Every structure is written in C-alpha cells, then in structure tokens.
Amino acid sequence: MNTDRRIKIVVAKPGLDGHDQGAKVVVRALLDAGFDVHYTGLRQSPEMVVEAAQRENADVIALSSMAGAHLPFCTRLKPLLEAAGMGERLWVIGGNIPAGDHDALRALGFKGVFATGSKLDAISDFIRENVR
C-alpha cells in the first residue's frame, strides 16, 4: 500500500436493508480516522456495489447488513468482485451478523466480520493492518 495516499473505502447497504444509522456512524468514524470513504446509500444490488468499487478504485469494499440477508448477498457478490478484478481487495462486513455466520462469511472472502457493537477503532485498525 502506498502510504502517500489515503485508503479508499466503499461502504454499501446491500439489498432491501433500510437500516442505515449504523453505516452512517461507521462512515463518519472512518472519515475522522483519515480514510477516503464513499457511501453508496441504501438498497444496493451486488452489481451496484461492484460498480461503485470500480468507479472509486476502492481498496476496501465494506458492507453494512442489519436485515439478515448477508449470506445470500455475499454469495452473489463474491464472483462479481472477482470477475471485476477486485478479488484481492479487502472485503469487510458489519452489522447484525450472528456469530454462526462469521466463518461462512470469511470462507467467502470477507476477512473482516464485525458484529453490532464492534469498536470503531478496531474497524479502522483492522483496515490499516490488512490493506495491501
């Protein structure tokens, strides 16, 4: 990672999930921590997430999921990100994610899985430590 430029992060709200307060808090914290953050807004399809990540040349693709549809969404998103040449970027997800789903998300390629209540500094630190 070139330390002369800020890490670029795309934060997306997948599917029909309309609960965006937590995503906005995370976006603000990431901005305050010095990251270059683009928030896509609500109701993003997998294709829209990939398009935003490509447009922004994102180092990090971050999803915020509160509605419980994270596994099917991430299963659809993975091959699209890989086909777009973004398979080596850092993928993270946070929100209302049961502990029993963490391993499945990691197996899909999401290196960072942050449950509701995760410390904002822990998210920032994880990103800094894992962006290549």
What tens digit of pLDDT does each residue of 40-54 get?
999 999 999 999 999
pLDDT for res 67: 87
CA 118, CA 95: separation in Å to the nearest integer? 9
Torsion 28-58-11-109 (CA) sign: negative
The reported pTM is 0.93
Q: How far apart are CA 109 and CA 102, in angstroms?
A: 11
Predicted confidence (pLDDT) per residue in 53-112, tens digit: 999 999 999 999 998 899 999 999 999 999 999 999 999 999 999 999 999 999 999 999
Q: Are 54 and 86 in contact (CB under 8 A)?
A: yes
- The Cβ-side half-sphere exposure at 110, using a 13 Å CA radius, reads 26
Assigned fold of 8-130:
Rossmann fold (3.40.50)
Q: What is the pLDDT of residues 24-36, one digit of tens each?
A: 999 999 999 999 9
Ordered by start, the domain boundaries in the chain are 8-130
Whole-number pLDDT of residue 18: 85
Q: How far from the centroid of its chain's Cα atoms is residue 76's Cα?
A: 14
Look up residue 21 and give its two tokens.
């307060």
Give the per-residue pLDDT at 132: 73
Instruction: Please report the pLDDT score of residue 95 as a whole number.
Output: 95
Has residue 1 got a pLDDT over 80?
Answer: no
The pLDDT, as a whole number, for residue 3 is 57
